[in-house]
Structure 1
């Protein structure tokens, strides 16, 4: 007795099936380069809770999450577009 094997054709993944890259750590020089802010301004904004806080990587090493920095930048752009001061 022969069994029939059904083969399905590969389908293109939908937008919901796509996997996005994982979040990553950014060190201070990269944050400075991307945001255009100085080191002292970044830490001043962190103290005023107006910039994402750094994450301790152990010892004296810290980094920022790329998604949080991107979110901060998008909020600033939206603020400008909305006319808010």
Structure 2
């Protein structure tokens, strides 16, 4: 994958996409059950969209 194809999601986008609250997302990250964000600035993080989508697809396949 090239850098041009990578899309980043901020926390508000992630919470909307996965229908979970910010605290729940961070609890799942701590438990190893959600993709970790990347640091994009001193006080800013973002998630790789493809990793969040893969997590959602995995959940769909587990039902």
Superposed CA RMSD in Å reads: 1.0
Name the CA distance, whole Å, in 1 between partners of 2:51 and 2:58: 10
Superposed counterparts of 1:47-66, under 5 Å: 47-66=30-49
The CA deviation string for residues 12-66 of structure 1, in whole angstroms up to 9 with x for no partner, is xxxxxxxxx7121100000000100000000000000000001000200000000
* Larger-gyration structure (1/2): 1
- Where is the strand percentage greater, Structure 1 or Structure 2? 2
**Number of equivalenced pairs:** 60
Unmatched 5+ stretches in structure 1: 1-20, 81-85
TM-score by length of 1: 0.68
TM-score by length of 2: 0.92
Runs of 4+ off more than 4 Å: none
1:71 aligned partner: 54
